[in-house]
Amino acid sequence: MEHAALYLALIGLLSLMCQWAAWRVHLPAILPLLIVGLIAGPVTGWLDPDAILGELLFPLVSLSVAVILFEGSLTLNYEDLRGHGRTVIRLITWGVIITGVIGTLAAWWLLNMPLEIAAVLGGLLVVTGPTVVIPLLQTLRAKANLSQILRWEGILVDPVGALLAVLIYEFVALGQENGAASHTLLLFGQTVGLGFGLGALGGWLWGLILRHHWLPQRLHNFGTLMIMLTLFAGSNALFEESGLLTVTVMGIWMANMRGIPVRPIIEFKETLTVLLVSGLFILLAARISTEQLMTLNWPAWVFLAVLMFVARPITVWVCTIGTELHWREKALLAWLSPRGIVAAAVASLFAIKLEKAGVEGAEMLVPVTFLVIIGTVVIQSLFSRPIVRALKVSEPEPTGFLIIGANPVARAIASELMTMGWTVRLTDTSWDAVQEARMAGLPVYYGNPLSEHATQHLELTGIGRLLPLSPYRELNNLAALHFEHMLGHGNVFRLAEESGKHAKRQQDRALGHLPRLFDDEATFAKLASLVASGAEIRVTKMSENFGLEEYRRIHDGRLMPLFCVAANGRLRVVHTDVPLAPKPGERVISLIYPDSPEMQPDEREERAREEQRVAPTRSDSSNPGRLPS
């Protein structure tokens, strides 16, 4: 096709617009991508992927699916399986089998598919995936235990479900080519053996190279991608259809091999996956023909209803037998099961291969899969919040704090908040700082809070406000912009700038609508210097005879108010937009500066006696516990 470069550039632009729209409305990105692809392809006829890419379409789809499955398998750590309860384990084992069997039988009976193709479709549609589950959970504020179950099911079922789908597909593909059951089983065993063997061997050898740094650090990501793609293509060359299994096993092996720096590889793959997935799904959706869309009559919609209202409830009921979950909580688990990226990508790849082989019914795989994806995401996005309220399984208004940084300043403030009963969660990319926070008993996430990995693994249940306390100005500012959309205006703050008018003007242009944290002089450098020199955080109760000005006078102005706790337990963050005016009975949490070197010992003792007399600190008052705002 002429102007192919222009078409590809426009697809990239559309992908960016879809990703932005999904971010704005808190929906999985796959939904606008598929809708735009359908409009560009079968609806308007503007985009013809086969004409643009020709013979390159199939290799591009194959390599993209390999990258998606490899990235997903890198997150499957055996310790995660052991650490999230028997409900999650059951959902990704017995639940996968139950959903797959019911989906297979429904496709065979309702859609008149051959049993082999119905089994492929049933195996494809067992996965939910974090890219569709997590955006929904962020808007629901469901109970913490339910959010944890759904989030970890989505993360862990991706590679497990993909592995099941690949195995079923390989068995069906080999059977179509060879006919005889015994010969098909033999070839299937050889394919599985090659996939597991080559994947484990490749993961182990490449893991040794990374562990011993036999390759420069700057080549780790690139090298991993090239080795993975080489193993994928080589495995397929040795034995057709074994490549996907090989890269899935390789990723799982590397994820569970000690001493392997997997996190940077995952972050690199996230960026690559966004690039590939965004363009890929527009192309795949555009490739659906009008005739295929016309096949989505009432049996296809009944099939969707069976998956949502029969398969999922039965799966949840079986997998929660003997647990302490209330029926209301089980009902929410039974409701939420949106399908996502892995199902769409693998379905498209399998359909292309099976259609080329002339397998009857293969043309139905993609339209039915896309119907299930769009149907589950749209329906569950629209009705989940009313259902959560009706079932009364929502969390109170989130009052906790996400703190960017795990340095001494962040740890001191987080410790005080946690002592008083508020939820806190710190995040940092410094391993030493993370270790210090963990030793202090503070919950902390190790990694970039803006990454896709953080989207899946940074637990935000109960978090309603952001404190940017990192020494890195750009990280603080980007985090404020990133989380403002999620937490809302008034719950996200910025630190004062310490360097020059130009930096301050830049920050004001980007973040001028956000209030400055604590006061206009509260730069990170100042806070860090005060904490390092011995400043303390204290809680002091205001009264009719003792207000904020009296408190400042006692300390000669050497204090910085941080928070104010009302009599009803509501905590307010001190910021520059609203002057602090604590009422009698409210408590002020302040950073008390270290004493001046010129102060005499008798002056210190006199000040301490006066403060204790008129303003008892937290040690003389009750702990309020965690009170909702």
| The pLDDT value given to residue 595 | 66
Residue 181: other Cβ atoms inside 10 A = 9
Q: Please give the radius of gyration of the chain, using alpha carbons only, rounded to the nearest integer.
A: 28
> Position 520: which residue type?
D
Give the Cα separation of 444 and 447 in Å (integer).
10
- What is the percentage of the chain residues whose pLDDT exceeds 90? 9
Say how far residue 43 (Cα) sits from the centre of its chain. 33
Residue 387 gets which letter from DSSP? Answer: H
Give the Cα separation of 254 and 263 in Å (integer).
11
Q: Which residue has the higher pLDDT, 75 or 204?
A: 204
The average pLDDT across 18-25 equals 81
Q: Which of 279-293, 306-320, 397-411, 487-501 has the highest mean pLDDT?
A: 306-320
Say how far residue 354 (Cα) sits from the centre of its chain. 33
- Indicate the helix (H) or strand (E) that contains 572: strand 571-573
| The pLDDT value given to residue 362 | 80
| The pLDDT value given to residue 438 | 92
| The pLDDT value given to residue 625 | 36
Task: Burial-class residue 3 by CB neighbours within 10 Å (0-12, 13-18, 19+).
Answer: exposed
Residue 571: phi and psi, rounded to 5, are -105, 130
CA distances from 55 to 9, 51, 226, 232, 595 (A): 19, 9, 22, 19, 75
pLDDT 10s digits, 537-581: 888 888 888 888 888 888 777 888 888 888 888 888 888 888 888
Residue 313: other Cβ atoms inside 10 A = 16
Q: Which of 123-137, 329-343, 510-524 has the highest mean pLDDT?
A: 329-343
Q: What is the mean pLDDT of the chain?
A: 80
The average pLDDT across 219-230 equals 86
- Indicate the helix (H) or strand (E) that contains 454: helix 452-457
| The pLDDT value given to residue 360 | 79
pLDDT 10s digits, 344-387: 777 877 888 787 777 777 888 888 988 888 888 888 888 888 88
Q: Which of 147-161, 310-324, 548-562 has the highest mean pLDDT?
A: 310-324
DSSP codes, 295-339: T-SHHHHHHHHHIIIIIHHHHHHHHTTTS---HHHHHHHHH----
Delineate the domains of the chain, giving CATH numbers in brackets.
55-264+292-391 (1.20.1530.10), 400-497+512-606 (3.40.50.720)
Give the Cα separation of 194 and 236 in Å (integer).
10
Q: Encoding tokens for residue 64?
A: 């993209």
Residue 294: other Cβ atoms inside 10 A = 10
| The pLDDT value given to residue 181 | 59
Q: Which residue has the higher pLDDT, 24 or 249?
A: 249
The average pLDDT across 514-524 equals 83
Pairing, β 463-468 against β 444-446: unpaired
> Position 153: which residue type?
E
| The pLDDT value given to residue 109 | 92
Residue 235: other Cβ atoms inside 10 A = 26
List b or e across 600-612, with b for residues whose CB sees 16 or more CB atoms inside 10 angstroms: eeeeeeeeeeebe
Q: Tokens 């009296």 correspond to what residue?
A: 550
3-state class of 610 per DSSP? helix
| The pLDDT value given to residue 45 | 83
Residue 517 gets which letter from DSSP? Answer: B
| The pLDDT value given to residue 99 | 93
| The pLDDT value given to residue 177 | 57
pLDDT 10s digits, 288-313: 877 777 778 889 999 999 999 999 99
| The pLDDT value given to residue 623 | 40
Q: Indicate whether 57 pLDDT > 80.
A: no
Q: Tokens 């993609």 correspond to what residue?
A: 366
Q: Indicate whether 256 pLDDT > 70.
A: yes
Task: Burial-class residue 221 by CB neighbours within 10 Å (0-12, 13-18, 19+).
Answer: middle
Say how far residue 331 (Cα) sits from the centre of its chain. 23
Q: Encoding tokens for residue 278?
A: 């965004």
| The pLDDT value given to residue 204 | 92
What band does 624 get if pLDDT is binned at 50, 70 and 90?
A: very low
What band does 620 get if pLDDT is binned at 50, 70 and 90?
A: very low
pLDDT 10s digits, 458-502: 777 778 888 998 888 888 888 888 888 777 777 888 888 766 555
| The pLDDT value given to residue 295 | 74
The average pLDDT across 403-425 equals 89
